Amino acid sequence: MDHFAHRDGVLHCEDVALPAIAEAVGTPVYVYSAATFRRHARVFREGLAGVPRKHLAYAIKANPNLAVLRLLADEGYGADVVSGGEMARALAAGMPASEIVFSGVGKTPAELARGLDANNGGGIGQFNLELEEEGEVLAALAAARGLRAPAVLRVNPDVDAGTHAKISTGRKENKFGVPIDQAPAMFARLAALPGLDLRGVAIHIGSQLGDLAPLEAAYRRIGQLVAELRGAGHVISHVDLGGGLGVPYKPDDTMPSPAAYGAMVARVTDGWDAELMFEPGRVIAGNAGVLLTRVIWVKPGVVHPYVIVDAAMNDLARPALYDAWHDFVAVSPSGTRMVANIAGPVCESGDTFAMGRDIDAVASGDLAVFRTAGAYGATMASTYNSRALVPEVLVDGDRYAVVADRVTPETLIAAERVPDWL
């Protein structure tokens, strides 16, 4: 469910008509619904009601806007970060350092140190280790500060999530985690280091998962690992189960609900006696945003016309990267339909959002939206073709605010330098 709906023939975000935002801010522009973020955050939490001990950390990479993070912090969410920059955003948004989980396969020593030094030297809540050397470096950094860094070891269960290859992370050939068969010996070596409080294990097999079966298989494997580690005398107090629940992009998509996911988790983890950690991202942010765009031209084509919009692959990269589907809806539909290709103005044939799709009929100057763009939209935007960086707007009831400015080519040029010798 989201809070984007047509009223009197005009698409609204909550109580704000989208043409009003287009007039004030221009297009393209991301528009987010605060009510949808809040609802999804609460529904996910409610879905895990059967899990007695849990920690919820929003995956910042899905949508790192400071206003979004503040909103989710108010809903009681911590942060799952994968870079020093994301950690800085979480802290700037008011998320407690103790609620931050630092994931990611390429954390640098400087980033590890930054995590230890956060919270006036109290450090962040947890480091998810991706390899033994990383654990050794973190242990040395922590020991030099008189600390024991709270950490878990991420394992790779060799489970195919059944999702797009570029967002699958749990197969043995993926770069994430350590092979599960090597985990017990590695855990023992790392647990002996004085600078580490190695308190558990972590797992994450991919994103946009539409089937709970791979998750259940992965969780059962990590449950066996927990039992093996405890049998060897290790104290396992935390198990990080990651995120990855999918969202419906097409009108007829069906995805597991947070309630169904929570029921599976409660059943599989019964008796684990550990705090379970979750990192939802897309499932909270995806349907909370749209990319509002204006039609520049409807260009005749050999097979179908091309609807050329002012949004492009630099604003919304998912279709170019993953052949992803985003529903295209007219802001003020006429009631008629057309079959067309939808493309942006970037000088790439890959700057195409859809081919031969049945859509609302549109003409030059009309407004439309790409739906389900609240996750992996603005966060992946670039300035390719020297285009402006797309702005973001947050709507809350009948009010809205620009929460990220349009960064213009002039601003970008001002940050560049031509050396004197040219």
Catalytic residues: 347
Nearest in space to 152 (alpha carbons), one of 101, 213, 117:
101
How far is Cα 371 from Cα 364, in angstroms, rounded to an integer?
Answer: 20
Report CA-CA distances (Å) from 343 to 102, 225, 306, 353.
37, 48, 7, 5
Q: Decide if 153 contacts 229 (C-beta within 8 A).
A: no
Q: Would you state the structure tokens that stand for residue 19, as one six-digit string? A: 């043409």
| CA separation for the pair 337, 276 (Å, rounded) | 48
Alpha-helix residue ranges (DSSP H) falling in 26-149: 34-47, 66-74, 84-92, 109-117, 132-144
What gap in Å lies between CA 259 and CA 77, rounded to an integer? 18
- The residues facing 11 across adjacent strands are 6
Q: Which residues pair with 178 in a beta bridge?
A: 155
Query: Which residue in this structure is represented by tokens 């052949």?
Result: 323
Closest to 95 (Cα-Cα) out of 84, 107, 80, 82? 80
Which amino acid type is present at position 21?
I
Rg (CA), the chain: 23
